[in-house]
Every structure is written in C-alpha cells, then in structure tokens.
Amino acid sequence: MTQIERTVASMDVMKQYYSGGVLSGGGSVPTPKASPADWVNMVNEFQKGAMSTRLQIPMIYGIDGVHGHNNVYGATIFSHNVGLGATRDPDLVKRIGAATALEIRATDIPYTFSPCIAVCRDPKWGRCYESYTCAKHFVGDGGTTKGINENNTIINYKGLVGIHMTPYFDAIVKGVSTVMVSYTSWNGEKMHANSFLVSHVLKKQLRFKGFVISDWQGIDRITSPPDSNYYLSVMDGVGAGIDMVMVPFNYTDFINDLTYQVKGGIISKNRINDAMRRILRVKFSMGLFEHPMADLSLEDLVGRKEHKDLVREVVRKSL
C-alpha cells in the first residue's frame, strides 16, 4: 500500500519495508540526461529488491507521463491536453496515447499518472490546460471556488455527478486501472478523507475494480495545516478507501502508523484486504508477476521518428 519516491528507494529498502510501489516526482531522474537504459537499470534494481522478499510480489513503478514521457531526456514531448483537444481528432489523440505508452514502457515503467480528466469550470484555474482528456483527480478538481487550485468545490451531489464525475463513467467502463484522488474538498470535506465518494460511489456504485491512489503527500493535507496530525491522516485516508498512498518520503511513519491502527482495530483488516486485492489485481493484469524485469529491446522506441511525426501533426491540426 506504500508508494515511495525513487530518491529514498533502494534494493535494501524494498526488501526491508515491502514497498508496493515507487515513483518519480516531477523532475526526479536517475541522473541528468539519463538514457532509457539508465532508467531501466534503476527500475530493475528496485524490482530485484521487491522480488527477493518472501512472497516475491513485484513493485509497480509510476511516473507522470502527462504530455509524452516528459521526465526522460530525448523522449517525444507532445502538446498538453488542451492542445490535443484543439485538434478535434480523437484518433490522433489515441495514437499519441499509444506512442506515449510505448516510450514509458520502454524505460521499464508500467504505470503513468495520466491523463487528467478534470472538467474545468473556471479558466482562472491554473491546471485548465490538463483538463481536455490513471484517471485523475477524483473528483471536482476543475470546479473549485474562484478557480483556485486545491480549493473547495461547492456544488450539490447531483451537480457533482452530472458535471465532474461524468468523465469517469466511460473510463471505468473501458477498464481504467487506477484512479487518483484530488487534493480538493467537496463542500468542505477533503476528498482524501471522503469515504462516501471514494468507497461508496467510486468503488461500489460505479463498480471500479482497480485501485485508488492518493496524490503526492495527499493524506498529509487532510489536516489543516498539512501534516499537523499524521496519525489522523493515515486513519482518515486509508479508512476512506485509498488503496495505495503516495507517501512519498515519510514511509517509515506511514507503515508504523498503519500497522498500529490495524493491530488496534482502528482500521479493519477487511479494508486492508480490499486494498491488497485491488493492487494485486492490477499487478497481475499488467503481467508484472510473469515479467517483472525490463525488456531492453524496447529502448529504441524512445523518441522514435514516427512519434515525432505525431507531434508535427498535432501542431498542424491544433492551430
């Protein structure tokens, strides 16, 4: 249930703490101008640690591939979602998604935190450029008061479902594997602590079968000021239905607090089992158990000419 940042991960950490996931934060790279092979070697090293544990459960590595594989030197960089939307060409957008997926997979990364499917209701919101396409951020992040990022979305339930939840319906039907929770609040209640929307609506009513992941230090922001009561944040976040927590650095405190709360009956074992089933289902469906290590033959897919030709097509069609 723990996802840690690559800068604090190592083979030994994976062995000792059984971390189920690792991620790269924005701009977090193995080395400056790291090659695809450098990425593969890094991810493989973490995977070796995960696979050396008793149950040999592979970890899952995640990264923001929001407009191409944008953290990797030499990768193909596409327009942001607003530019893709301006092409009015769904087939082109689909081909771009496939190209991005190939380049990400070529660096041994099977999981990307994209696309953003927020419904932007105020052009002052600083992330409107992301909202014209992991489905994130659940839910209502595009409707905050005065367009302030991470603010409060004030709307009744009917409006929330009819406007902001609509993009998730199709994503879930099409089999999206993960949904990321929003930093925002709905009528004053933090989404990272909203068990009604996360557990009841998303998981039960919408029948989402993948796993729910927090945003970067998302549970820390449940309290005000952030990180003022981490014990409470763990209890409310996991209790609300978050399955994998993007810690990303404070993993020992998270593991200790979660373990204590489960042993004390504060968080039920059923809640933990639900999270485990969902995470394992995604890892199995991705083939991580059969093929946990990278295929180095894919390295040449990064920045290939065919993908750069797609960039030029986007520019022509979006002007």
Average pLDDT over the chain reads: 94
Dihedrals φ, ψ of 97, to 5°? -60, -40
- For the cut 70, the answer to whether the pLDDT of residue 134 exceeds it is no
For residue range 276-311, list pLDDT tens digits in order.
999 999 999 999 999 999 888 888 999 999 999 999
Let me know: does 23 contact 65? Beta carbons within 8 Å.
no
For residue range 28-63, list pLDDT tens digits in order.
999 999 999 999 999 999 999 999 999 999 999 999
Instruction: Give the residue among 67, 73, 68, 61 at the shortest CA–CA distance from 32.
Output: 73
What does DSSP say about strands 185-186 and 189-190: parallel, antiparallel, or unpaired? antiparallel
Task: Give dist(CA 120, CA 93) in Å, integer.
Answer: 19
What does the DSSP 8-state code read for residue 7?
G
pLDDT for the residue 291:
93
Sheet holding 21-24, edge to edge: 111-112, 60-63, 21-24, 2-5, 245-246
Instruction: Label residue 319 by pLDDT band (50, 70, 90).
Output: confident
**pLDDT > 90 fraction of the chain, expressed in percent and rounded:** 86
Let me know: does 254 contact 2? Beta carbons within 8 Å.
yes
Distances (CA, A) of 14 to 22, 105, 207, 212: 9, 21, 32, 21
pLDDT for the residue 133:
44
Cis peptide before 315 (omega within 30 of 0): no
CA-CA-CA-CA torsion for 13, 16, 19, 20, nearest 10 degrees?
120
- For the cut 70, the answer to whether the pLDDT of residue 131 exceeds it is no
For 67-318, give the CATH class: alpha beta
For residue range 158-198, list pLDDT tens digits in order.
999 999 999 999 999 999 999 999 999 999 999 999 999 99
